[in-house]
Amino acid sequence: MSNESGMNYAPKGRPNKVCKEGEFIFAAVGLDHGHIYGMSNGLIEAGAQVKWVYDPDPEKVAQYIKAFPQAKAARSEDEVLSDNSVNMIASAAIPCDRYAIGLRAMDAGKDYFTDKPPLTTLEQLQQAKDKVKATGKKYAVYYSERIHVESAVFASQLIEEGAIGRVIQVIGMGPHREGKGRPDWFYDKKRFGGILCDIGSHQIEQFLYFTGAEDAIIQNARVANYNHKNYPDFEDFGDVSLLADNGATGYFRVDWFTPDGLSTWGDGRLFILGTEGYIELRKYTDIARDPEGDQVYLVNNEGERRFPVRGKVGYPFFGALILDCLNRTENAMTQEHAFKAAELCVKAEELAQQVEK
């Protein structure tokens, strides 16, 4: 799999349109990461229309239009921002640049939907918070490993139904395949934010969500560059221990060491412990058993169960986000939650012990 291969990043769900045609228009600005395809596809399945696409690289624009032929190539970002029919700007620009696009989008009267991590410094976070307060616009974040994974959606439903009681610990494993042909910014910590800020943001957001926590303390954080000595600023391993404000604990590990023999880009696992049972998610594959991901294992007082949920649950986040923008509500994800996950991943990176360079 090519790491920047467009539609490989766009899970297909069951279309569930929440608005009429033309009622919600978005534009894609900044195509540096393939997650823009998942973001766009999720919005379109929920009833949105994409009108514009802009990136300084015409090849990226052409690739996007091939996937979404309804999009028109804009001559500049200003052409997109000046279009009053556009409700939202979606962006997967280089991580360090995402916040600035968001500030300009909100100044132009549009809601903003950015790939994770939504920012890379606490100064950027404060600017984003200030702009949200000043404009009343949304700064939504694509934490895809929860909102665009059916096993994670199903797990949240089980927890809401009380299947495992109170959640007291979350353990996440987020290995990724490095692959070939990564751009220069991928190896520059100032631009991608560090491994705990980048792919660690998925894990921190899931920890907050599944435990129901509003805040957490980074108790321990470590990063390392074990096998990329030609890129001294790169981090190929990281792990973090957390303590939530409600007493729940968490641990996660992220790395770039997925072997070529694995059938997918990463063997993502999540373990959720409750007072009355536990859940394991095998998100992308069930190794040496079933190549189809989205396997949910539940053990509680009633017994043991396996739920293969791919194609059965869908992705309700996108419809909820559209309705939140139209109705000025906060049902998809609160702004406070989106920003808190971003804050903690930046703090984890700042506090991390460098194990090996």
Residue 6 has pLDDT above 80, yes or no: no
For residue 355, which of 256, 239, 191, 243 has the smallest C-alpha distance?
239
Q: What is the pLDDT of residue 184?
A: 94
pLDDT in tens, 259-277: 999 999 999 999 999 999 9
Q: Provide the residue type at 159 as one letter.
A: I
Measured CA to CA, the distance from residue 168 to residue 154 in angstroms comes to 18
CA distances from 293 to 164, 250, 306 (A): 22, 23, 12
pLDDT in tens, 164-193: 999 999 999 999 999 988 999 999 999 999
Q: How far apart are the first and last CA of the chain?
A: 28
Confidence of residue 7 (pLDDT cuts 50, 70, 90): low
The domains found in the chain, sorted by start residue, are: 6-142 (3.40.50.720), 146-314+346-356 (3.30.360.10)
Confidence of residue 356 (pLDDT cuts 50, 70, 90): confident
- What's the chain's average pLDDT? 96
Measured CA to CA, the distance from residue 99 to residue 90 in angstroms comes to 12
pLDDT > 70 in the chain, percent: 98
Three-class SS state of 250: strand
Q: What is the pLDDT of residue 262?
A: 95
Residue 157 has pLDDT above 80, yes or no: yes
Angle, CA of 124, 127 and 132, to the nearest 5°:
125
Classify residue 244 by burial, with Cβ atoms within 10 Å: 0-12, 13-18, 19+. Answer: buried
pLDDT in tens, 9-34: 778 887 889 999 999 999 999 999 99
Confidence of residue 5 (pLDDT cuts 50, 70, 90): very low
Place of tokens 């994670």: 152
Q: What is the pLDDT of residue 8?
A: 62
Measured CA to CA, the distance from residue 150 to residue 310 in angstroms comes to 6
Confidence of residue 2 (pLDDT cuts 50, 70, 90): very low
pLDDT in tens, 214-252: 999 999 999 999 999 999 999 999 999 999 999 999 999
Q: What is the mean pLDDT of residues 112-129?
A: 98
User: CB count, 10 Å around CB of 301?
Assistant: 9
Confidence of residue 305 (pLDDT cuts 50, 70, 90): very high
pLDDT in tens, 121-133: 999 999 999 999 9
Measured CA to CA, the distance from residue 53 to residue 91 in angstroms comes to 10
Q: What is the mean pLDDT of residues 327-341?
A: 98
Q: What is the pLDDT of residue 1?
A: 31
Q: What is the pLDDT of residue 11?
A: 84
Q: What is the pLDDT of residue 291?
A: 87
Q: What is the mean pLDDT of residues 46-54?
A: 98
As given in the structure block, the two tokens for residue 263 are: 């059938």
Q: What is the pLDDT of residue 290?
A: 87
